Amino acid sequence: MGRSLAYGLLAGLFSAGLLLVGALGSLGGAVLSYLTALPLALVGLMFGVPAVLVATVAGAITAGSVNWLVGVEYLLGFGLPVAILVRQALLARPATEAGVASGDGALQWYTLGRLVAWLVGLASALVIIAALAASGEEGGLSGLLAPVVQMLLEQLQANRPELQGSADLEAMAGEIARRLPAVIAIGWMVLIGSNLALAQGLAARFGRNLRPSPRFAALTLPRGFGILVAVAAVLAFMPGQPGVIGAAILAAGGVAYFLQGLAVVHALARRTAVPGLVLVIVYTLVGLLGFPAILIVGLGLMEDWARIRRRFGGPGAGQEE
């Protein structure tokens, strides 16, 4: 136990260091800051929840020693979310067959689909916290962001003479600021999710993973998740703060359905003679064109009621262990 807590302390210090290096403004520092969550996730998935909690506290204190706001950002944006996700990922219960314990000591681990749902919930919570913190500002969260966005647009226009006088910067800044929380929610989910996946891969490579790696092709969002997305879609059309919050939650839910749609693609690709080539083509189209991602989100939505993997994906497809 003592050694795992020591590893947690080192991981927290290293994690905070990565975040602070990103504040230096260099390109390399910015790239390294994207890995802030990796040491936290790695120590948690290798040594358990106590280790990641120690890492979170150590990282928050280290970041807060520079500036208390940076410490809060670290705690809310990295430490606590990763600790919660690691705790959920390490949950397990005896495997059952037809509602009866199998008796062979096998464990049923917390599913990848539920972890993704938690990631959406945490992203939504952060947006709501930010909206509440900005509630005293005129225009709320979007009103707080609009001047910053306008300043950046003015700098861009100053450096690009051909853009001068081409648009109403104030109106454009207001529209971008309204959509920015949704973009940030997507970016945060990708950042945390990719670091968790990388940490699990490294832990498995070192042979120190506390849980087996889940099968991505079987990712299934929990029942009722679509209700959250439907409510968020309604909120997104409302004016003011509810609209900003709704749009951000809707965007986060869209990421979850994109992942479920991608899992469907993986399951179906395995039924072809060249699954690797199929996946390379799909990922290339998404990366180069962008719009195929919308089709994959639609596929993920269809999976909720059509159960495409169970029909066409072969035995066990679409069933998380």
Distance (Å) of CA 157 to CA 7, 106, 144, 162, 234: 48, 61, 21, 8, 35
Q: How many residues are recorded in the chain? A: 321
pLDDT in tens, 278-288: 999 999 999 99
Q: What is the pLDDT of residues 37-47, one digit of tens each?
A: 999 999 999 99
Reported confidence tier of residue 153, pLDDT bands at 50, 70, 90? confident
Q: What is the mean pLDDT of residues 135-162?
A: 77
Please spell the DSSP secondary structure of 165-230, one letter per residue: TSS-HHHHHHHHHHHHHHHHHHHHHHHHHHHHHHHHHHHHHHT--SSPPPPGGG--PPTTHHHHHH
For 241-277, write each residue's pLDDT tens digit.
899 999 999 999 999 999 999 999 999 999 899 999 9
pLDDT at 100 over 80: no
Percent share of the chain, pLDDT over 70: 90
Residues of the chain above pLDDT 90, percent: 63
Give the span between the Cα atoms of 24 and 31, in whole angstroms.
11
pLDDT of residue 149: 82
Mean of the per-residue pLDDT values of the chain? 88
Residue 98 has a pLDDT of 42
* pLDDT at position 57 over 60: yes
Mean pLDDT of 291-318: 84
